[in-house]
Amino acid sequence: MKQKLFIFLGLTLLAGSLQAQSPVLVEDELAVVYYMPKTQVAITVEYDQVQVAPGPFYQYAQRYLNTDNVVLEAQTYYELTNMHIYTQAVADHERAYKVHAQRDVEAQLLSLTADGLLYGYNVGPATVVSQATEENTVAKPMEEVLMPLLEEQMIASSIAKMAEGAARQIYHIREMRLNILTGDVEHVPADGQAMQLVLNELNQREQALTELFVGRKQVTHLSKTLYYTPSDAPHPAMIARFSKFGGVVDTEDLSGEPIHMNVVATKQSLHSNHAVEDKKALQPSEIYYNLPGQAAISIRYKNITKTISCPVAQYGVAIPLAKDLFVKHKPTIYFNTQTGNITSIQK
C-alpha cells in the first residue's frame, strides 16, 4: 500500500510500499526509514567474436605459398576467454527499519545513501561509491579492406595472373627484409628505431598480401555482466549459456553450453557467538546493524571455474544497538553499506 513517508528535519521525502514484514508506517508519521543491504553477485563473462573471411586467391595458396591452411568460407563464431565474480550491495526493501523523531536516538543525525542504506550516525554525508556496471559490448562487423596490389597486378587479365603478381610482391618483401637485417642494402636505416619502423611496415605489407591467399581473421573482444541475487533457491543453478554461434545466451537457448553458479551459504543466527543475547544489555534502540552471513560462490563453464568467499548481507541477522549508547553521548557510528555491519563506534 502506498504511503507518504515524511523524513525528519529536511531529509528527503520518501514514497513507497513496504513489505508486510517491514515496519508499518502510518500517515504523517515522522521517521527516518532505512534499509539493510542485500548482496548482489555480478558475473562478467569475457569472450571474443571471431570473424574469418576467405581471400580472393585462396585457390592459389598451395601453388604460390605452399600452404593449405586457408579459410574456405566466411563465418563468425565466439570463444569464451575468462570469467570474473564480484559483489555489490543494493537496498533490501524486505528489510526496512525506521527511527522515530523525538526519541532517545536523534533521527536527524542519521546519514543514508541515495538508495536508503544506513551509512552512519552523527557523521557527515555519505561518500558516493560508484558501482561499475558493464553492458554487453557491441560486436564490430568485419571491415572491408581494398586489395593491397600494385597497378600491374590490378590490371592483370585473370585472377591467376593477379595471384601470381601478389606472390611476387610477398617474395620481394621477404628478400628486402632479409637484406636489411643482414646489412646487404645500399642505405641502411640510421638507427635501431628507424630500422624497426621499416621492418614493421614491411611486416604489415606482407601480412595484407598473405591474407589474399590464406584469408583474414578479425577478433573483437566482448564482455557481458550477469547479475544474480543469492537466495534460498537450490544450487547449483544455471544462470546462462554460452554459444559458439551467439556468445552469451539465455538458459533456454540449447545452442550453448551451460554456465553454472553454486552458492554454499553459512547463515548467521541470533545464537551465533557474534550475536550474543546479553542478559545485561539495556533496552534496544531503533537503530539496527546487520551481522552478515558468509558464502562460497563459484561459477563454472566447461573447464573454467572461478570461486570467491564473501559476506552475504541477506544471510545475516539484524541486531539493535543498545539504547544506553545514546543517553549521555552522541556517538559517531559508521556502518558498512555493503554488509550492514558496524565499521566503527567512537564516543
* pLDDT at residue 79, rounded to an integer: 96
Mean pLDDT of 3-25: 35
In whole angstroms, what is the distance from residue 70 CA to residue 77 CA? 17
Cell of 37: 543491504
Residue 254 confidence (pLDDT) above 80: yes
Higher pLDDT, 181 or 154: 181
With CA atoms as reference, report the closest residue to 30 among 92, 110, 94.
110
* pLDDT at residue 194, rounded to an integer: 84
Of 71-80, 105-114, 130-139, 228-237, the poorest mean pLDDT is in 130-139
* pLDDT at residue 183, rounded to an integer: 77
* pLDDT at residue 134, rounded to an integer: 53
**b (16+ CB within 10 A) / e for 309-340:** ebbbbbbbbebebebebbeeeeeebbbbbbbb
Question: Are the CB atoms for 265 and 312 separated by under 8 Å?
Answer: yes
- Using alpha carbons, list the distances in angstroms from residue 173 to 62, 168, 270: 19, 9, 77
* pLDDT at residue 282, rounded to an integer: 60
Residue 20 confidence (pLDDT) above 60: no
What's the predicted TM-score (pTM) here? 0.75
Residue 50 confidence (pLDDT) above 50: yes
What is the DSSP secondary-structure string of 300-326? Answer: EETTEEEEEEEEEEEEEEEEEEEGGGG
As separate numbers, helices (DSSP H) first and strands (DSSP E) second, the chain gives 4, 14
* pLDDT at residue 4, rounded to an integer: 31
Judged on CB neighbours under 10 Å (0-12, 13-18, 19+), 47 is buried
Question: Are the CB atoms for 116 and 91 separated by under 8 Å?
Answer: yes
Mean pLDDT of 150-155: 62
With CA atoms as reference, report the closest residue to 90 among 292, 339, 343.
339
- Using alpha carbons, list the distances in angstroms from residue 106 to 9, 100, 321, 327: 11, 8, 14, 10
Highest average pLDDT, of 36-45, 168-177, 192-201, 283-292, comes from 36-45
Within 13 Å, how many C-alpha atoms sit on residue 206's CB side? Answer: 15
Confidence of residue 275 (pLDDT cuts 50, 70, 90): very low
What digits encode the pLDDT tens for the residues 91-147?
999 999 988 876 667 888 899 999 999 999 988 765 555 454 555 677 767 666 656
* pLDDT at residue 210, rounded to an integer: 92
Judged on CB neighbours under 10 Å (0-12, 13-18, 19+), 19 is exposed
Of all residues in the chain, what percent are helix, strand and coil, respectively (each to 5)?
20, 40, 40
Mean pLDDT of 63-88: 94
For residue 91, what are the β-bridge partners? 37
